[in-house]
Each structure stands twice: as C-alpha cells, then as structure tokens.
Amino acid sequence: MDQFEPYFADDTQGVHFAVWVDGQLILAHVGRRVLSERFGVASEGHGWVAVYLAHQHEIDSVVTSSVRANGPETVILRLEDFT
C-alpha cells in the first residue's frame, strides 16, 4: 500500500488517514471532537477531511512522535496528544 487517501467515517465520527514513519505506513484516526476542540473549527461529514488537510503537518507530526515513542501500531489521536 503506497498511498492512503484520508476519509471521514460516519461510524467512528472521525478522519482515517495514514502517515509514513521511518519507512512504515502507519494508519491513524482523529475524531471530529478532537479536530474541533484543537483547531477551533466546526464542520459536517466529509468537511472534516478538509480540516485534517488544513492541519495535516501538525497532526502527522503528532502521529510520528507517537509511533517513535510507542511503536508502529495504529494511532488514535486524543486531545491530550496535542499538548
């Protein structure tokens, strides 16, 4: 899997995406509540993907830090991860 397009899932109420970390593609998830509270935005449905893309550098950096600290597993971001 070389590429993974971010998408919003109604069942998880968040954006699923992937980040390359040290040569491994890591799957990750950030919920709409986390996006809203962290970045001060409101959206609906697939508009959350645009919010993720607008803040992708910061979000992906948090995923990278998590993987380097905890190992190469799926990352589910929490609001506390951004502090």
Q: What is the pLDDT of residues 69-81, one digit of tens each?
A: 999 999 999 999 9
Q: What is the pLDDT of residue 80?
A: 97
> What one-character-per-residue DSSP string does 25-67 give?
EEEEEEEHHHHHHHHT----TTHHHHHHHHTHHHHHHHHHHHH
Domain ranges of the chain: 1-12+24-73
Whole-number average pLDDT of the chain:
94
